[in-house]
Amino acid sequence: MVGQTGGSAKSASKKASGARFREWEASDWTELGDFLRGYLSGTTIRPKYEALRHALAEAMNRNLIASGALLPTEKELTEIVPYGLATVQRSLKALSESGLISRKPGVGTVVVPLKWQIRQPLHVNLQDNNSAQAPLTSKVLSRKQAKSKGRWQAHLIDAKQPVVIRRLHLAAGSVPVYSEYYVDGAAYPQFLEKPLSELRNENLRHIFSRELGIVVAKITTRISAAPVPKSIASELSIKPGTTCLLQRATASSNQNVLYYAEFWIPPNPYELVIESNL
């Protein structure tokens, strides 16, 4: 055979291109597989699907799987990690629900950008052993008038319209953090008027400086270990009574208290870093 027709040549070229892509994929999955197996062999996280979810999220955090890149197929994952198909599928479902990956028909499963990443987090600054900050994503659970009694009352004594903004954060795609942010809606109506979608990825402290021209001059932080209440445990998907890190923060400008916030942080492999520079 001396030559090929145009159609045959295109077909051969396409197959060659596909072969090269599969070859690149294979080498990429080898590197990823080494990381995943190492992570899984050293973790104490259970059940298995949660351990794999954490491992994949950490791989994304380290850019071993870049934003917009394809993940291995379910079958390929079962070949590079010591888990079966059911565990792999459950892990991918959890990652999809958290917004870290997206299933695209005809394409595969891809890593999506962190849509809810909070810029310059102050109170929930979690870092790994190499001082790398865990990306923090967030969604608003609710915004309503604060009617129930709580620790916030000792700080917002003169609040005429106390409002509580409840949010659920996710550090590095795997560590949930629950927060309640109390502020006087009468004094600072921006916290009442803003669409919830704008509060989702917002560092709420920046609203004071950027939109109100008020500088947060002092933040007092109190940290303790406490059993998580049932209502908050359900948001964190952990057992009620689990000992968590409770961080309570009061922000003020001169002598005026601007907000009070509480953060419930379950046990996790990260360090909580608190910086003093405001």
Q: Which residues of the chain have pLDDT under 50?
A: 1-27, 115-116
What pLDDT score was predicted for residue 17?
Answer: 39
What pLDDT score was predicted for residue 5?
Answer: 41
What pLDDT score was predicted for residue 240?
Answer: 96
Could you state, in order of their start, the residue ranges of all structural domains in the chain? 6-111, 126-272
CB 258 within 8 A of CB 242: no
What pLDDT score was predicted for residue 163?
Answer: 96
What pLDDT score was predicted for residue 165?
Answer: 96
Sign of CA dihedral 53, 58, 61, 62: negative
What pLDDT score was predicted for residue 99?
Answer: 65
How far apart, in whole angstroms, are the C-alpha atoms of residue 51 and residue 167? Answer: 24
How far apart, in whole angstroms, are the C-alpha atoms of residue 33 and residue 76? Answer: 10
For the whole prediction, is pTM greater than 0.75?
no
Q: Enter the CATH code of domain 126-272.
A: 3.40.1410.10
Q: State the architecture of 6-111 in CATH terms.
A: Orthogonal Bundle (1.10)
Give the containing element (helix H, strand E) for 166.
strand 162-171
How far apart, in whole angstroms, are the C-alpha atoms of residue 253 and residue 245? Answer: 26
Tens digit of each residue's pLDDT (9 = 90 or more) over 209-223: 778 888 788 889 999
Q: Which two tokens stand for residue 273?
A: 């870093």
